[in-house]
Structure formats: C-alpha cells, structure tokens
Chain A
Amino acid sequence: MSDVSASTPASSPPPDAAGRRSRRRVNPNLLVGASLVLLIVGMAIVSFFWTPHDPTLVNAATRLQKPSGDYWFGTDKFGRDVFSQVMVGARTTLFVGFVAVGVATAIGVPLGVLGGMVSRGPGEVLMRGNDLLLAFPALLLAIMFAAVYGASTLVAMIAIGIATIPSFARLIRSGTLQVMGTEYVLAARAAGRSPFAIGARHVLPNVSSLVIVQASVSFAIAVLAEAALSFLGFGTPPPTPSWGRMLQESQEMLWSAPRLAVFPGVAIAVAVLGFNLLGDGLRDRFDPKLDDRR
C-alpha cells in the first residue's frame, strides 16, 4: 500500500482533459486517499443491510476460530465474528468523525472568519482564547468530559469536536485575512456592502477549499481520538462494535490470538491514512486552481 501512494506514475491524463488542464496528472494522494475512504464508507453503508454474521452475537461454540470461509477474519474470545465487527466499527468511526468534524466546522469556521475580519481588539482576544484551547488536546478534553458526564459516544464526539475547533479557526482566520486584503473586498466595501454580506459572499466561498481540506485532516484526527478513547474504555460503550475497543479486548489475547489485534488495527490505519491522503490530495488540487483563477 505504501508503495502505491509513493510511486504510482499516474501517467494517464484526466478523461475530461480540457486544454490547460491536460498537463495535470492524476494526483496519487487524492486517488489512494479517496479509494481508502470510499472503502471504509462502503463498508459502513453495507453493514446497515448485511454483515456475514451478527456482530454482537456471543456464541461459546465458535470461540477463537481462525479465519476461514465462514468467518473471514475469525472470531474473538466471545465467539463474535471479527469481520462483521470491523464492518459495523466503520459505522461507529464515521459517525463519531462526522459529528466531531461537524461541531468543529460549525463553530470554528465562523470564529475564524470573525477573527480575520475583526483583526484588532476583540478579534485578537477571540484568537487568544482560541489558542488557549490548543492546550487541551482532544483526548484530554474527552477524558475530562467522561469524568464529569460519564463515557458515551455523544460525549466523545462533542469533546473531539470542541478540541478540533482551534485548528479550524486558526486556518480559516489566516485565509480570511488574505481575502480581506484583496481588491474585490475593497470594492465591495466601497460599494457599501455590510460586513456580514462581505463575509457571506466573498470570504466564505473563498475559504471553502481550506475548510474542505481541514475537514478531511480533522476527520483523521477524530478517528484516532475515537479509537484511543474506546481503547481506554471512555468511548463507545459495549455492545456496539468499535475498533478501539476491539483492540483493547485483543490485548489480553496477544499470546494466543495476536490476529485479533491486527484486523481492527489495520482498519484504524486505513481510515486515518485515507483521510490524511485525501486531505493532502485535495490541498494539492485546490492550491494551483486558486492561483490560476486570479
């Protein structure tokens, strides 16, 4: 997998190769990242309709089966099918990621735009407060939330979301500052447009590519945080399958069935790699486009 992302020559031009675009090669990061993300998303969607076995079905007769035609990834110490658990775990991971990134976008983007448009005084204070949040990493915040409200998926999602706000706000602020320095914003101001209209009609559309890239990268962070939280027992409670808890349960079985750690581990790595590569690929894709448009 690592070789693919690095050395795929990616020689074929995009099918819609129109004029100046024809020289642009297919971005390997984007391709691999999108494929991995699609794989995870596909697995999650299919798991709503079909899994090989009931992922939560405890069965003493099928304990610790090796991978076979019947149980593709084998079974765990409770006799549950590992493949089905990995499939449903994708659902849990994506759900937590979506809500966490949603919270971070909904709060971080307006905050960043505001911080960039009101650069002095209150804007400065806003950004200082934002930076302070950086001292509370996602996992620490989530553990604090779990200490107070108890462990649950909702608590994990909100905590991860809040912890992701500052990076969004920072990035969007710097994007906003750039847009605010352009001539079309000056023109809009001269034409008497209200700051709100400038924010909505000029700033937001122009920073939207930043938002998409950051959302993808934040999704990877959310996946990692959710896995760690579930591993520690502060995330998704049983019996809902979750990759982090599967890993935690596998740890005592390392001597007899180390494979139990491999499957959820690979799933986590694939998801994180996918969203990271997707983010990188989108960044490469958006940057030159922004350049030759202006």
Chain B
Amino acid sequence: MILRLLQRLAILLISLAVSSVIVFAFMAVLPGDPARVALGVNATDSSVAEMRREFGLDRSPVAQYLSWVTGLVTLDPGNSYVSSTAIGPQLSDRLQVTLWLVVAAMALAVVVAIPVGTVMAVRHRQVSGLALSAVSQLGVAIPAFLAGILLITVFAVNLGWLPANGWTPPADDPVMFLKQLVLPVLSLGLVQAAVLTRYVRSAVLDVLREDYLRTARAKGLTPMRALVRHGLRNAAVPVVTVLGLQLATLLIGAVVVERVFVIPGLGSLLLDSVSQRDLIMVQDVVMILVVAVLVVNFVVDLLYLLIDPRLRVGAR
C-alpha cells in the first residue's frame, strides 16, 4: 500500500517536472524577445535592455526556468511583463472564480449522471432507457459554449429569469452570485453529465451481468435494490476514472464558458494574456491548469485504492 502510494507520488512529481519543462520550452521558442513584444515596436534599445534585466530575461534559459519554477512553487511568481503588477494575487483570485464554476458543474454532472445512467442501464432494452440514451448522445454533441448561448437565449433573453452574464463575488451579494452562477454551471455541468451518463450506463451494464447480482436478485431483491446494495461500488471504479479525466475537459470547457458569460476566471485571464502577449502570465496559467489535471489524476489513483480493496494488495 505504502509502496504503491510512493510509486504514484514519484510518477506525479516526474510528470510535474517534465510538463513544466515542456511548457517553459514551448514559450521559450517564441520568435522575438518577450521584452520587445511587451514594450512594443517603438521601444528604445536601452529600455528593452532595462526590462530584460528587470525580469531576468538576460539570464541563461536554465536560470530562467529555475527561477520560474521556484516562483511557482513558493507561490510568488513575480510580475507580469505587460502590466508590471504582481501575478500571484491575480492568479489566486481568478482561480477561485474558476473553481466555483468547475466544482459546481462537476457536482451537477455527478448528481444528474449517476441516477440517469443507472436507469439507462437497468432499462436498456426499454424505450425509456433508449430515449435517455439518445438524449445523452445528443448532449455529448453540444459543446458547453453552445449550450451556454442557447441557455442565455432561453432564460435571459426570452424569459428574463436570469442574468445573461457577469460575475459577483459571493461575499458582495450572495443572491446575485447564485443567479449569475446558474447558467454557466448548467451549460458546463449538463454537457459533462451527458458524457458521464454514458460511462455510468456501461459500467452499470457490466455489473448487471455479474453473478453476485444474479444471486442478489435470486434472493428476491428488485433490480434497483440489488444494484444499489451490491453493484454501485463495483461500478464506481471506471466512473471515477472518467470523472478524473473529465475534470481536464471541465477546466478547459470553463475557459470557453467564461468567455461566453464574461466571467473573470482563469480562462479569461489566459485568453486576455494571449491577446496582450503577456507570455509569463500565459505560461503560469497553462502550468496551473496542467498541474490541476496531473494532481487530479493522482487523486483518482488514490481513490481506486479506497474503492477497490483488491487493488491495495497483489497486482502491481
């Protein structure tokens, strides 16, 4: 158990290190000098040189990489090339906003997908199961930003029930915060739920064919009760895997949905930084997203061990 844990941790650390090198190297191949890009074409050579010194761009790539990583690890990533303001507070503010979105959307997806997917599996030969299956297939085909636009059209433009966009911090006005959260979370969460439902369905279908479920049925339990008492835990392993993988999709989906609903999250920061050519900021946001994906995969691995005791011993 401990050995497995350490092994996973080692993989996580190596992946983090390698991906940070990839992100850094990627940004370093940029044609042109970030200082000149930030200052514009009219900048004098001396001001460019000064900025290069100020941001340490005159050092070797290795030194630049090390100071970048140290900055991220110590939560002090320095200043933006373009606005010269501290990056750290911006990142944490924006990250909070995005986390609200992603966590709420994930919760919605799970709450919708597990019961719906289970019903789809239990009734897979009936019209109701097939109809749900078709709806989920359709949901998979609709990207979150399209869902967002459609939801705005219906609930903001036509019905006028909810605001079309914007963001209010929960501490300022909790009611407005919730109102503005509904549509973006629906558009992210429902699309995610459509994908997740299909995995829940196939996981539950697999479990339904197991002998222990037949035994439970033979003892007189209804299909649903047998499933809830004996099957769901076994169906959980593949579903948890997909949940982990989906978090990556959700984070990226949030980038686009934030644009649709004008929400000042990490995604908006990334897109604004790209258009302002604020490369250090781009590099930091990308790295945060990648770290999030890798850490979630690590947590998913740990969850396996919790859910399935068989994995704790034996097979490597």
Contacts and interface: CB of A to CB of B under 8 A. Distances in A.
Question: Which bracket fits the contact residues of B?
Answer: 35 or more
A187 to B, nearest CB: 30
Interface stretch (A91-99, A206-214, A247-255): A247-255
Interface string A136-150: 110110011011100
Given A2-B135, A144-B286, A272 B140 contact: yes
A171 interface: no
Contact of A7 (B30, B127, B245, B260): B127
Interface in A188-227: 220, 224, 227
A276 interface: yes
Interface stretch (B47-55, B56-64, B181-189, B249-257): B249-257
Task: Give the interface SS of chain A, mostly helix, strand, loop or mixed.
Answer: helix
Contacts of A261: 146, 149-150, 153
Interface in A224-246: 224, 227-228, 231-232, 234
A148 to B, nearest CB: 5
A6 interface: yes
B19 A265 contact: no
Contacts of A3: 131, 134
A284 B245 CA distance: 24
Interface string A254-284: 1100100100010011101100110000000
B15 to A, nearest CB: 6
Interface string A145-164: 01110000000000000000
A135 interface: yes
B99 interface: no
A1 interface: yes
B141 A228 contact: no
B81 interface: no
Task: Give the interface SS of chain B, mostly helix, strand, loop or mixed.
Answer: helix
Given A250-B149, A265-B149, A231 B140 contact: no
A5 interface: yes
A195 B142 CA distance: 44
A132 interface: yes
B133 interface: yes
B290 A2 contact: no
Contacts of B289: 140
A6 B141 contact: no
Nearest to A251: B149
A131 B127 CA distance: 39
A258 B157 contact: yes
A232 B271 contact: yes
Contacts of A147: 27, 273-274, 277, 279, 282
Contacts of A232: 255-256, 259, 271
Interface of B: 11, 15, 18-19, 22-23, 26-27, 29-30, 127, 130-131, 133-135, 137-138, 140-143, 145-146, 149-150, 152-153, 156-158, 164, 245, 248-249, 252, 255-256, 259-260, 270-271, 273-274, 277, 279, 282, 286, 289-290, 293-294, 297
5 contacts: A5-B137, A6-B134, A254-B164, A258-B157, A272-B142
Given A132-B19, A139-B255, A147-B274, 16 more contacts: A6-B127, A6-B133, A7-B131, A7-B134, A135-B297, A143-B271, A147-B277, A148-B30, A227-B146, A232-B259, A232-B271, A250-B149, A261-B150, A265-B150, A268-B142, A276-B141
